[in-house]
Amino acid sequence: MSFIYNILICIAGFLLKIIAIFNNKIRFFVNGRKTVFSDLRKTLGPGDRIIWFHTASLGEFEQGLPVIEKIKTEFPDRKILVTFFSPSGYEIKKGSKAADIITYLPLDTRKNAKKFLDITTPELAVFVKYEFWPNYLSELNKRKINTILISAIFREDQLFFKPYGGFMRRSLQTFRHFFVQDENSGNLLNGIGIDRVTVSGDTRLDRVEEILHRDNTLEFMETFKNGKLCFVAGSTWPEDEELLSEMINNAPEDIKFALAPHNIKPAHNESLLKSIRKKTVLYSEREKHHLQDYDVIIIDTIGILTRIYSYADIAYVGGGMGSTGLHNILEPAVFGIPVIIGKNYSKFKEANELVKLGGVLSVSHKDQLSQVFSQLIEKELHRKETGRINSLYVKKNTGAVIQIVGFLRILL
């Protein structure tokens, strides 16, 4: 199986170079990896002590960030190396000050794994949530480098738990310890003979809880909201916006709406503007207008959505109405407000739990969205109680970072 895997990785690497000619995202994926080794050699010195964190993309980076920050504070003599698999995560976070070095992870060939570890020589490797690269894990194991998996979540339908999944099960055996999000994940690992497991929860909850202690002030939102109820829709996709635009058009006059679409390209924003009949302004043109006079603001920038949620009385989180994947519901939930999502959320643990608890409300069509929206607007007590469920959930489930860092501290 190992031989077949390595052949497939080589074929994938070749095909990606061809696809990159026609696909911009894959071009970033391929071109970004061309200088990884030379850049690392220039950046790292012989006396550097490296702690390596691997994250698949942006979401996993955010999960790992509270651990990264804590380790960086406690061990200032170490250098933090963060690798990304996805271009979307790398391109957004490549300038982050959270790590000393941020780069792509070269494809999982035996040659790349050996070369990468020869250059970086990490004292410790921390993988976040998932991404099980057999050659890297095997090489880490051969070199006796402690490798930890944090914020992990496993499902019964994964290859590890199938009768024919022995190759991938051997990769799991290379981890020194697993910090998993729930009991089910721990039980699945126990069922294949892995007992080096701690059920610590999701580090994202520690991450979002910290948001409450930051300065979330945005002057333009103060002006725009102007003391009225505010509905914030974040990370929306066309499937979400089709429902939201109709709801907004039929909403009472005294409600403010802030829309932060996932796609902020001008053509998409123009289409969104045309679908909304209420008085609407773009964030990029805010200086030209009296924001308090507008009903809707479209946020055509990135990096401020979390702070915008702090002004919301109700939030909608996109991605769940279509098949793209639900975005982060915890960022608005931490502010103690009701959160509305689409119908496709079954793969998201926190969404499943909060829908059952009643803090997150799932809708399947425009009539249901309008009904849920009206109830939250008209019934203040219902709105506040729904939001309180979310706030308590976040508070109750924090603490993963303390457990993980406590364990890493022993290894370092």
Q: What residue has token string 């190759």?
A: 167
* Helix then strand then coil, % of the chain, to nearest 5: 50, 15, 35
At 37, which CATH number? 3.40.50.11720
Specify if 4 maps to a domain: no
Among candidate residues 119, 151, 123, 120, the one with its CA nearest the CA of residue 55: 151
Residue 223 has which token pair?
Answer: 């002006």
Residue 94 has which token pair?
Answer: 């490549």
Residues 53 and 93 both lie in one domain: yes
Instruction: Count CB-CB contacts under 10 A for residue 220.
Output: 16
For the cut 90, the answer to whether the pLDDT of residue 126 exceeds it is: yes
Residues 182 and 231 both lie in one domain: no
Active-site residues, by number, are 60
**Model pLDDT, residue 347:** 87
Angle at 299 between CA 294 and CA 303, to 5 degrees: 145
- Length of the chain in terms of residues written: 412
**Model pLDDT, residue 341:** 98
Residues 177/189, Cβ–Cβ less than 8 Å: no
At 252, which CATH number? 3.40.50.2000
Specify if 345 maps to a domain: yes
Q: Write the DSSP symbol of residue 257.
A: E
**Model pLDDT, residue 54:** 97
Instruction: Count CB-CB contacts under 10 A for residue 195.
Output: 8
pTM of the model: 0.82
Overall average pLDDT of the 192-212 stretch = 93
Strand partners, 342: none
Among candidate residues 285, 227, 214, the one with its CA nearest the CA of residue 256: 227
Residues 161 and 60 both lie in one domain: yes
Instruction: Count CB-CB contacts under 10 A for residue 312.
Output: 24
pLDDT digits (tens, 9 = 90+) for 162-187: 998 898 999 999 999 999 999 999 99
For the cut 90, the answer to whether the pLDDT of residue 65 exceeds it is: yes
Specify if 388 maps to a domain: yes
Residue ranges making up the domain that contains 355: 216-394
